[in-house]
Structure 1
Amino acid sequence: MAMNQGKRGLIGALAGLMLAGATAAQATDPNWQAAPSYGSVNLSAGFMPDPHRVDLSAGGSTQVNSSLGSGCAGYIHAEAPDVDLYYTAGSLPLYIHVESRTDTTLVINAPDGRWYCNDDANGLDPMVSFPKAQSGMYNIWVGVWGNSELRDATLNFTEINPGR
């Protein structure tokens, strides 16, 4: 009888740990459905001026879950995207990149439902390119590498290769 109680206790403890792990994993997934912190941008192929820029504070208190995809890193505001881009594609590629005086990262949920991330495409600045961009909504987070402090950054949308 004591052995059965010990097993039950162990099983209960393991189940609690598994539940806590599942909750923690869910808490780190960015909420792409929330209203963006810095608003929405509507652009169509051939937009002017190019690049289109959005100033924002990069970073947040949630560490990015690397299970989202390759290159996903940094700290973001997981509660909501920083910016939602509504893009009408044409024949040109789309480049999304960040300029900052600190080490930033980029996390994007594209219209195809896949996650695209980058850290350090050009020095400490990230960039994600879409050679055959799709029309639709791009949810975008700008993160900070290594800590949860907020940093000034500029998010850029361009159809001209930044040459980086």
Structure 2
Amino acid sequence: MSVDPRTPIVQVMARLGRETQLHLDERHRHFKMTDKVILFISVLLVILACVNVYYVTVLYQDLNGIVDNMDSMYRNLSRVDHDMDMVAQRVQTFDRHIQFMTPITAHMDAITDIMPQLHASMSLIGNEMVSVNNDMEQMSGAMGGIAQQMHHMTGGMSIMRQNVHQIAGPMGAINPILPN
């Protein structure tokens, strides 16, 4: 039997074709697997990108809030600075007023020293007032007597007036005759 010289070449080529096909199938399977892994990783990256965009948005809003808070804090600190200046001015004014406390204290000490003497003087004045009151009561009694005397004098004056009228009547007739 004779062997065809092409047979081993055909067998080698067939085997090489099968091996190549197996290799291609295996590569194709690896490519599909790699494509699935790449697709899965891409989906994960898209999800991660969405989450990152969300976090960047939240961070942006938080940073805007922080900036607004800092602006508000600056305005409030400016007001506090102005208020503190006013407080400092008031404290200076108060300090100037407090400096008057030393003379006031000295005057209060002098008043404290004078008060017992003033009390004694007031007691003397009180005693004098009692004496004046007694004198006034006596004078009031005397005034009653004077009032009676004045009443009598008024009565006398009234009689005298009538008498002058009676005398004036005839005198009035003589007056035109008398020289001035």
Please classify the TM superposition score into its range, dividing by the shorter chain length.
under 0.3
TM-score by length of 2: 0.22
Ranked by relative contact order (alpha carbons within 8 Å, sequence separation 6 or more), the top structure is: 1
TM-score by length of 1: 0.23
- Which of structures 1 and 2 has the bigger CA Rg? 2
Instruction: Judging by fraction of residues, say which structure has more helix.
Output: 2
